């Protein structure tokens, strides 16, 4: 109980930490790109590379975006009643055992980021953010991540910081990884990919609204 209004003890629970493998990081970026650009062929190939079946791509879409990859309404909006009814009909025979089996098939990294994604979604909603805004941010981060390579220069920078931490006798869990070190200049490929994503989301959404896909 806080008897002194000038002081308050706040305990922060950091939860779990997991360092993602570089190959998984790129595949996860690719998964988000395929979901937002509705590139189903890329999505199915990415699902296979992540260690799940191509058919599970639809389930991954439901986990991360709460909608089927073939939805035709504006990005960030809720599914229609007809779409929800169709999904319930499609998965009506799925049991708890089937769900547990699917979760066990997921790579540990993918399971971890799915939980993290739910936390981000909840915080975004609590802070007044929109689903569309969250998708746009995730998409732009994904296409930027696909342009980022683990170059020799970045690896040398990481090793230098690790060596510095060891020499100082510091125990740190937040050592930098390649994806956390910004290159001095943004590559032109990153600028192009971010523009392509923004253009797609804005133009395709408007076309869908014109043709009545809501």
Which of 52, 32, 46 is CA-nearest to residue 104?
Answer: 52
pTM of structure: 0.72
Mean pLDDT of 190-214: 71
Q: What's the rounded Cα separation, in Å, for the pair 17 and 8?
A: 27
What is the share, in percent, of the chain residues with pLDDT greater than 70?
Answer: 75
Cβ atoms of 66 and 73 within 8 Å: the answer is: no
The CA-atom distances, in angstroms, between 200 and each of 139, 169, 196 are: 11, 49, 6
Rg (CA), the chain: 21
Q: For 37-77, how does the pLDDT look when each residue is reduced to its tens digit (9 = 90+)?
A: 888 899 999 999 998 888 889 889 988 988 888 777 777 77
Within 10 Å of residue 36's Cβ, how many Cβ atoms?
A: 21
Q: What's the rounded Cα separation, in Å, for the pair 139 and 48?
A: 20
- Top-confidence residue, 50 or 4: 50
Q: How confident is the model at residue 108 (pLDDT cuts 50, 70, 90)?
A: confident
């Amino acid at each position: 109980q806080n008897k002194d209004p000038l002081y308050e003890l706040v305990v922060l629970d950091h939860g779990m930490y997991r360092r993602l493998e570089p190959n998984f990081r790129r595949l996860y970026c690719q998964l988000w790109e395929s979901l937002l650009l509705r590139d189903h062929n890329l999505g199915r190939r990415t699902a296979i590379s992540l260690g799940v079946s191509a058919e599970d791509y639809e389930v991954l879409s439901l986990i991360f975006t709460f909608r089927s990859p073939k939805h035709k309404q504006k990005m960030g909006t809720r599914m229609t009643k007809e779409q929800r009814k169709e999904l319930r009909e499609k998965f009506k025979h799925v049991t708890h055992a089937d769900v547990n089996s699917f979760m066990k098939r997921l790579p540990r990294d993918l399971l971890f980021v799915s939980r993290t994604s739910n936390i981000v979604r909840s915080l975004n909603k609590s802070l007044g953010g929109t689903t569309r805004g969250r998708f746009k941010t995730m998409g732009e981060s994904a296409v930027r991540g696909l342009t980022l390579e683990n170059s020799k220069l970045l690896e040398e920078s990481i090793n230098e910081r690790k060596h510095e931490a060891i020499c100082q006798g510091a125990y740190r869990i937040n050592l930098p990884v390649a994806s956390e070190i910004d290159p001095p200049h943004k590559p032109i490929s990153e600028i192009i990919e971010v523009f392509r994503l923004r253009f797609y989301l804005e133009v395709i959404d408007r076309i869908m609204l014109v043709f009545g896909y809501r």
